[in-house]
Amino acid sequence: MNRALAVVSFISVCASAVFADSGVIIPSGKSSPDSSILSTESMDVQIVIDNGHATVTLKEVFHNHQPVTLEGIYSLALPGNAAVSDFAVWDDLTRIPGVILERKRASELYNEIRNQSIDPGLLQSGEVSESNAPGQAKRSAEFTVNIVPILAFGYKRIEAEYRQTIPVSQLASDFVLPLKASVPLRIGSVSVSLDLRSEQAITSFEEVSKAYPLKITRRTQNALTASFAQNDVDLTSDLEIRYSLANDTTPRVTTYRTGEATEPGYFETSAILQPPHAQTPEPAAGRTVVVLFDTSLSMQWDKLERSFQALEAILRSLKPADSFNVITFNSEPASFAPGPENATPEAIAKALDFVRATDLRGGTNLEAAFKPALAQSKRETYLVLLSDGEMTEGTIAPRKFEAWLDQAWKGIPAAQRPHLYTLAIGDDANVRFMRRVAAHAGAFEQVNTTEPLEFKLAGFVREIGLAPLSPVNLTVSPESNTRFVYRLQGDDYPGTRAAWVGEYLRPGPVEFTLKLGGAASAPKESVRAQLPAMNTVHTYLPATWARARVDALLEKIDREGEDRASIDEIIRLSRKYHFVTPYTSFLAAPRALLRPRLIRPGDPVLRVRTDPSITSVIALFPFGLTKPLRYLSGEDIWQTRFVAPEDMADGAHAVRLILRDRDGHVFREQKTFLISSHPPVVRLRMDRKQVHPGEHLALHVEASQSTRTITAQLYGAETLFLRWNESDKSNTGILNIPPNLPPGRYSIHITAEDIAHNVSHQEAPLEILP
């Protein structure tokens, strides 16, 4: 019998709620908010938009109407490219701010603290899996935080902050605060404050939604403040505002520097893009538009509705001189017509009926869809992909698909190469992949379920056929005083805003020059600026630069694989500037408990890492044993060995720790460990039991909660490590069948090891066909 010590984990961290309303707590056991159980007493929202960079701070108070302690999931819906930058929960009168920790360590600490009935919150971005390499983690438009406990008849205060860059399209910007509830929801009191600033003159301001009428209290050429306050507010719509900017192409420069000699400064250079002459841009005449419409099962519900809305808008924007085709695809493609048809109203109506009659089914094979689309390319052809970009069949690795697409695209004569446009639809869309596909002379846009489609779709459709002003380049003189300069995401189309952020090392004069196009005679716009020794007005700049730097490092990891230096820098910048990455998480818990005193699994070793001030640690085990721990200076850890009694029952047990610091202060803590003598239970599911050499086989393994590692082995193939897949509710992986494996009957060997080092095995037959 194997007796082992292991950290207990009672819950699934950051469970994904099926509800996407913003700023609500969903009581445990419910699928949506219930005001009779837990109501929102107040909601205070502060919105600051500084040169297109929004910071939104949300403060809420919830009231438990039940005579029992509750647990719930706080759900925060995020618009567009927003990222959480701060989070805090209140424990009575104590504010517990979130801190950024390495992802694995944050999860371990969260489980430990929760087991002590203390109120932690854990905030994570999408999971990293076999199919999503680090840096390609899905980024959901919803963050969820487990909130426990919410005391009987008590109140719970929560604060959250997120940052978002607001794009400019046709000289206008659209900002959306997701508020609309999918069930009737009334808030006791709601207050909203808006502070809008812009170096570019603001020519118009409109509140698109009318449910929360804003009162403008100050308005100048470059700034606007407004507010809303009301009791008993029904959340019937989102808060949406729209403002327009002056058509002035002069570059603008904003800066930030604390004044400390050891710290760099930060700058942003931006400009409105317009063609060199004053003509109004119009789409090319005689366009050929081929729309690739994703009909795989991942496009259900809202994704499908938005995809069809986008398809209809694209087709109805065509002119009589244009031609078009529609290719629906899942596991296989299906074309509306053998080739492009004239864009007559009758043909467009038939194409829409063709799509309506198509069933959602199967997986996503993008390679199979692009082959017939590329074959229809001729002069002025535009391929438009409407999808979430999640490939499950054919070539499924993003980088391999991109290599294939790049080769196929370059194999077409230059004059006939199509422009590739992508609209990433859904909260779980593979945004970076879809953006890279659009790098083939096209444009990219994304839309989440938390934001209206109309404004983004109008700009996207307008750009189909327009000639971009690419390449748009920024040069800095003197170059030696700046470093790590990054272009913020955006397209080079007329009426959009191009922006770069970077570091500067010393204050002094500098000249920024924007060049439109690659020719030597291409038009230029220059601006001289004085980089200041101190300027703390534009507080968004350091974090915006850090986010751009991290995105560049994640792209590097996508291309070249993980390296320690890149990961360490991502973690350092994430912790310094407070944003979540695939390698980090927010953890909100009392500061004293965030000291890394972590009991690690092992038998018969108890290891505890403490604060440097601790000079002695004594462990009191539940079976009567008292043992001092010895400090290992080489590992900076306290350790002792022990053996659990043979008759100790399986389950959770507690060990008490007495810690004494150098000043004689005594701290007492209780840690939970798990006695486990049974191997994990595993159940394997396979999509198929017969495969050909060189194919890919999806494996799904359900295992006991305490399972630590699961591997799959097939003769001649590399060992596959399966990872937890939240959407599948199982551990999944893709087994690559060796291309030279002889036909015959084989076995897939599944090995599962739990955190107590108990091991179990399962075998499943597999037939390799000729």
46-68 confidence digits (pLDDT tens): 999 999 999 999 999 999 999 99
Q: What is the mean pLDDT of the chain?
A: 84
Residue 356: is its pLDDT beyond 90?
A: yes
Specify the 3-state DSSP secondary structure of 237.
coil
Residue 133: is its pLDDT beyond 50?
A: no
Residue 749, pLDDT score: 86
Model confidence band, residue 277 (pLDDT cutoffs 50, 70, 90): low
Residue partners of 650: CB distance under 8 A and separation at least 6: 675, 676, 677, 678
Residue 414, pLDDT score: 92
Q: Which of 126-130, 408-412, 600-604, 685-689 has the highest mean pLDDT?
A: 408-412
Residue 672: is its pLDDT beyond 80?
A: no
Lowest mean pLDDT among 248-252, 279-283, 361-365, 731-735: 279-283
Model confidence band, residue 588 (pLDDT cutoffs 50, 70, 90): low
* 276-281 long-range contacts, CB within 8 A, separation 24+: 276/516, 276/523, 281/466, 281/467, 281/493, 281/494, 281/495
Residue 470, pLDDT score: 78
Model confidence band, residue 113 (pLDDT cutoffs 50, 70, 90): low
Residue 673, pLDDT score: 66
Residue 646, pLDDT score: 66
Specify the 3-state DSSP secondary structure of 551.
helix
Lowest mean pLDDT among 109-113, 231-235, 347-351, 703-707: 109-113
The residues with which 395 forms a beta bridge, in sequence order, are none
Model confidence band, residue 281 (pLDDT cutoffs 50, 70, 90): low
Residue 314, pLDDT score: 96
Residue 275, pLDDT score: 84
- Regarding predicted confidence, which is higher, 750 or 119? 750
8 Å CB contact between 457 and 447: yes
* Mean of pLDDT values over 230-238: 93
Residue 440: is its pLDDT beyond 60?
A: yes
Residue 126: is its pLDDT beyond 80?
A: no
Residue 600, pLDDT score: 36
Lowest mean pLDDT among 69-73, 342-346, 386-390: 69-73
Residue 278: is its pLDDT beyond 60?
A: no
Lay out the sheet containing 707-713: strands in order across: 690-691, 759-768, 744-754, 707-713, 720-721
Residue 599, pLDDT score: 34
Residue 28: is its pLDDT beyond 90?
A: no
- Omega within 30 of 0 (cis) for the link into 340: no
- Regarding predicted confidence, which is higher, 762 or 189? 189
Residue 388: is its pLDDT beyond 60?
A: yes
Residue 81, pLDDT score: 81
Residue 255, pLDDT score: 97
CA 299/CA 330 separation, integer angstroms = 10
Q: To the nearest whole percent, how much of the chain has pLDDT over 90? A: 47
